[in-house]
Structure 1
């Protein structure tokens, strides 16, 4: 039978063991974030994709913990990976997350310019490259623009996303506006509201909003996710950027 002093000693030692284990886990995590990612980015496509997705998740986790410098280090380290050369969706995830961290660190200009360049790759002639991640990027960029006194630039971010619902009896088919036609301000506003509802997982509310305004999505596929990309689509639930 242990004495009270022996029990206290065991509890004390246990506390130290747990503390040491926590510190070891934290150190391993930090080491993984800097050295492991670099050493494992090899010419093995399956492993490369897995490490890339895990790296994005780790960076997002650091951001949630407000460890912004650590998050940025990981993202910068991953930036040269060959994965992003042929995978536009993952590239969007990387740059969107990098822009959010830039905002968090107080670098508004870098974050803004990064998202503007990214979104420009999915409009006009490259409209087919639009994807779910870029829709969420539009929302965060719009918030950033308004916070920093550039609200006039926000509505245009939501162009080419919705179109009027036209009946078969109308002579002109339902399509995107011609290049010389500017979308009505009300249409852009509804498009933004609908995207925000989709971001909040309120698809039915978004559908009702569009129907009430006689609008429809240009391409519902923009909101689809790829099953083989587990991290894609994670950012809707990350915390909003710090301004």
Structure 2
């Protein structure tokens, strides 16, 4: 006999096969380690966050680079304008000096004129004396005389110092010889010359006896 399949049976069979297929796929996802995913994938989320940050940082860098290029361009333009303006001012200043401030228009130009000798007439030209201007001819002899004079002065000073020392020594010896006198004058009041007399009163005078007693002590 012929097997006749009803429509309802066919639909039920297809539904059953579909459920079996879904169950097999579900079991494969659950029990297979390579395909199974339980919970949230943290690594994927972290990678997405890092990519987003990288894109944002690249955008910020590009924006800053564009601003830097714009600022550099504006600075170069401003610098070129300033240089051009300064060149124009210098050129105008040089032109003004050439037109209105020439050296020949100054009052003292005749003193500093480099062509003054060329402008002189042959009759007015004078021959310069030999040697430099202001140079002394007998400078060596003058220096020699100055050295001799300085040497004589030094010798005279040394002689006067020796004579003064000898006078003081003579006066001290004379005072020591007359030590029997009741009063003896101090060395400050000693006369500079032997012919002079000592002063009448001196605060530094002292008795010869007191000096002897002090020396003994």
Higher relative CO (Cα under 8 Å, sequence separation at least 6) belongs to: 1
TM-score norm. by structure 1 comes to: 0.19
